[in-house]
Amino acid sequence: MARIVYVNGRYLPYAEAGVHVEDRGFQFADSVYEVCEVKSGALIDTTRHLARLDRSLAELKIAKPMSDAALRHVLAQIVRRNRVRDGLVYLQVTRGKAARDFLFPGETDPTLVALARPIDPYKVAAKAKSGIAVKTVPDPRWGRCDLKTVMLLPAALAKETAREAGAQEAWFVDEKGFVTEGASSNAWIVRPDGFVLTRPLDNRILGGVTRATLLDLLKAQGVPVEQRPFTVPEAQAAREAFVTSASATVMPVVSIDGHKVAEGRPGDLTKRLREKFHDLAEITPV
Ligand code: PDD
């Protein structure tokens, strides 16, 4: 559990940390966020996360709360103060507090919150060893999934549906039958001919930081990649499948809607990519 939380310039005990009831993040989901991996006491891919945060903020015309150097300082502080070696940092920026009105308020200071919490690396390793099951659901989300907003109700509902079906992640499927992405991850398959497939970036998916770094790794490893949408039957007939996210890095998928992927075990390429991921990621000791 997080013990110390950063809220608008103050490091507060968890129980005392809060934002205003008329914060626009609370009333309108007028807010963006980032989740960064912390591994062995270092932040992973900070530059890419901060670049994506900048883009989300700019697209929504939310003021940047502080410089990148200051944000890096807050991230490092929150990891240190919570003594997190392996886990996550969560950073959220809202448009700030204002009397409830759909229109943007004139001048408001953005709200900035950051917290860090540990994740047991052995539990994650055990999950990666067995692989996860995926349940597919129709994608009901809005047309700007490329922005990392906190409008996460469709993802929460999809994950509940997945859990009810005994699965650990949901894959959203668009109206043409193509997988868009996971509820909180990007979706990938390895075709029987060895090509790695993932959906190209568009407004239906989030440009995952892990996705970008994995594309670098695939290139460095000489693995052929095709960025194109794939269907659920294609995924079920794949040689391997996996998801990527800051919280799971490269996580094998061993079944889709109860249908085993290949032998129903994590694939060799997926395992190799998981092992090598941090060789290529940007590592910032805190
Ligand atoms: N989720 N797609 C969606 C919808 C996501 O929510 C996420 C990340 C990703 C992967 O992005 P990245 O590789 O940058 O983590 C793709 C985070 C981990 C979360 O909400 O907890």
Domains (range + CATH), the chain: 4-119 (3.30.470.10), 124-285 (3.20.10.10)
Evaluate if residue 25 carries a pLDDT over 70.
yes
Evaluate if residue 177 carries a pLDDT over 70.
yes
Evaluate if residue 219 carries a pLDDT over 80.
yes
**246 in contact with ligand 1, CB cutoff 6 A:** yes
**C-beta of residue 135 within 8 angstroms of C-beta of residue 257:** yes
Q: Average pLDDT of 267-281?
A: 98
**C-beta of residue 149 within 8 angstroms of C-beta of residue 203:** no
Q: Residue 15: what residue type? A: A
Question: Which run of H or of E encompasses 55?
Answer: helix 46-60
Predicted confidence band of residue 1 (pLDDT cuts 50, 70, 90): low
**C-beta of residue 169 within 8 angstroms of C-beta of residue 161:** no
Query: Of 39, 97, 135, 148, which residue is the catalytic one?
Result: 148
User: Residue 135 forms beta bridges with which residues?
Assistant: 170
Evaluate if residue 266 carries a pLDDT over 90.
yes
Atom in ligand 1 nearest the alpha carbon of residue 52: 14
Evaluate if residue 35 carries a pLDDT over 80.
yes
Residue 2: what pLDDT? 67
3 state DSSP class of 19: coil
pTM value is 0.98
CA of 56 to the centre of ligand 1 (A): 14
The CA-atom distances, in angstroms, between 28 and each of 25, 105, 193, 206, 252 are: 6, 13, 46, 20, 35
**Is 97 an annotated catalytic residue?**
no
Evaluate if residue 179 carries a pLDDT over 90.
yes
Dihedral pair phi/psi, residue 192, rounded to 5°: -55, -30
Residue 203: what pLDDT? 97
- Say how far apart CA 110 and CA 95 lie, in whole Å: 5
Evaluate if residue 107 carries a pLDDT over 90.
no
**247 in contact with ligand 1, CB cutoff 6 A:** yes
- Say how far apart CA 225 and CA 218 lie, in whole Å: 7
Q: Average pLDDT of 135-153?
A: 98
Evaluate if residue 113 carries a pLDDT over 90.
yes
Site to substitute for ligand 1 among 119, 184, 280, most atoms within 8 A of C-beta: 184
Contacts of 181 (CB under 8 A, 6+ apart): 145, 171, 172, 187, 199, 204, 205, 206, 208
Share of the chain above pLDDT 90, in %: 99
